[in-house]
Amino acid sequence: MGNVCGGSSQAVDQHGKPLNKTPAPAETKTEAAKPAAAAPAAAAAPAAAAAAPAAPAAAAGVAPAAADKKLKVYIIFYSTYGHIEKLAREYKAALESTGDVDAQLFRVAETLPADALEKMHAPPKPDDIPVMETSKLPDADAFVFGFPTRFGMMAGQMKTFFDTTGALWQAGALHGKPASMFTSTATQGGGQETTLWTAVTQLAHHGMIYVPTGYAAGAAMFGVQDAKGGSPWGAGTLAGPDGSRQPSEVELEALRVQAKHFAGIAKKLAA
């Protein structure tokens, strides 16, 4: 019988090793049927009590880094029109400017057919940025996720990517790893905040540590004279109703502050 996350049918521990006792299908089903009456640990993953991460606190986390070892940060994004891609490249540069981070860019797989993308006037994908393979996620010490909004929530392409991480969830492979996020919307009220806070569910279920920016960017966040993206939840840009607006300097400055803040937190967690 498979598990709720679509991973292998073999129950595994935090390190991906098979558990000693694989429950009989009926046993697993029984646990799934009584979440309220189950012990707290089982209730946390009612449909797969035996398959769920057994001891999240002891899971992967950020491996203690040697003083001279750079943190490996994966910046994983989806972008149709290039705004998020531009922010991702800026984020990488800002992370690496700290001297503490080796940042690598990845995009998630496109899920729309070519003819749909053509009708949307979407440009080709950048060929210098590889598509992320789910199995490589545990290699990173920390993550940055970037995605545009779709009706106030993350783009489906990004959600589809997260939907491929069930086996990693089962193994607790991303537990304790820090993550930050950024987004793009067409308009100022179009979902800068909702897109990021609804995405926190993905991090929470994996046990990742969400690192918001708060108001660390100071002046770059407080101005109200000009339209701008970004929020305490993470950096952002406004693409404009026709997609022609490009990230402004104030948006990019807030993004750089976020990147440096995130690098500092990730480094502390790795110490």
Ligand X SMILES: Cc1cc2nc3c(=O)[nH]c(=O)nc-3n(C[C@H](O)[C@H](O)[C@H](O)COP(=O)(O)O)c2cc1C
Beta carbon of residue 218, minimum distance to ligand X (angstroms, whole number): 25
Q: Where are the beta strands (DSSP E) in 40-177?
A: 71-77, 101-107, 142-150, 153-154
* Mask for 242-261, x = binds ligand X (CB under 6 A): -x------------------
Beta carbon of residue 149, minimum distance to ligand X (angstroms, whole number): 4
Place of tokens 């279920």: 205
Residues 136-195 that bind ligand X (CB under 6 A): 148-152, 184-187, 190-191
Q: At what angle do helices 83-97 and 249-270 cross, to 10 degrees?
A: 50
81 binds ligand X (CB under 6 A): yes
* Mask for 190-229, x = binds ligand X (CB under 6 A): xx--------------------------------------
Q: Which is nearer to ligand X, 150 or 159 (CB)?
A: 150
Rounded CA separation 162/143 (Å)? 13
Beta carbon of residue 196, minimum distance to ligand X (angstroms, whole number): 13
Task: Report residue 27 as tokens.
Answer: 């046993």
**Please, what sign has the CA dihedral across residues 219, 188, 227, 82?**
positive
Q: Where are the beta strands (DSSP E) in 78-177?
A: 101-107, 142-150, 153-154
Rounded CA separation 244/191 (Å)? 18
Q: Which is nearer to ligand X, 28 or 185 (CB)?
A: 185
* Mask for 82-111, x = binds ligand X (CB under 6 A): xxx---------------------------
The residues of the shown chain that bind ligand X, judged by CB under 6 A, are 79-84, 148-152, 184-187, 190-191, 239, 243
